[in-house]
Amino acid sequence: MIYFSEYSSPAGILCMESSGSELTALYFKENAQIKSSKSLILKDDLSLFMLIREWLDRYFAGENSPIEGLPLNLEGSDFRKLVWKYLLEIPYGEVVTYGELAKRVAKDLNKEKMSSRAIGNAVKNNPIAIIIPCHRVVSKAGIGGYNAGVERKILLLRLEKIAKNNFNKIF
């Protein structure tokens, strides 16, 4: 069984999915069509969803909430999981470029280099938005893309007080 609930945030409605004990997905409602067509059971009172709501409340209040202790279940290839692990290491209020991330992943995989495009694809397929901070990955030329829209990415970066001058003329 897959349970779901919604959370109303300043960036829009977020949908949460869970197996019951672990968060398996967190995405903007408008992006629901890109998720698989699983049979979902509404369960607003699931204790995990209450925990995630509390974390999101703190995040949207501008707090740097630690993710340690949040039960997350990431399904994906080993490569994607490695990239998502690196996303979790990007500190609150900071950004890294796709190229920087590619260098880190290449080193981990004992490769001479890694395609920034491959990194971008893994970042794009992050199943747990915001908590796994894919919005903190930017292009070397500016803000870069975001599955939920560049405007939302800018909103999240501003919330984390990331300086405008990090993005040339984007803001």
- Which residues are known to be catalytic? 134
Say if residues 120 and 98 touch (Cβ distance below 8 Å).
yes
Q: At what angle do helices 98-108 and 78-88 cross, to 10 degrees?
A: 120
In the chain, beta strands by DSSP E: 2-9, 12-18, 23-28, 40-42, 96-97, 137-138
From 60, 135, 50, 136, select the one nearest 95 (Cα to Cα).
Answer: 136
